[in-house]
Amino acid sequence: MNPEQIVRRFCEAAARRDVKELGAYFTDDAVYHNIPVAPVIGREAIEATLAQFLTPATSCEFEMLAVAAAGNVVLTERIDRFTIGGKSIALPVMGTFEVAPDGKIKAWRDYFDMQQFTSQMG
Kindly list the catalytic residues: 80, 110
| Contact predicate 1/71, CB 8 Å | no
Q: How far apart are CA 107 and CA 96, in angstroms?
A: 8
Does an H or E element contain 97, and which?
A: strand 87-99
CA-wise closest residue to 3 among 95, 79, 80: 95
CA angle 33, 71, 18 (to 5 degrees): 45
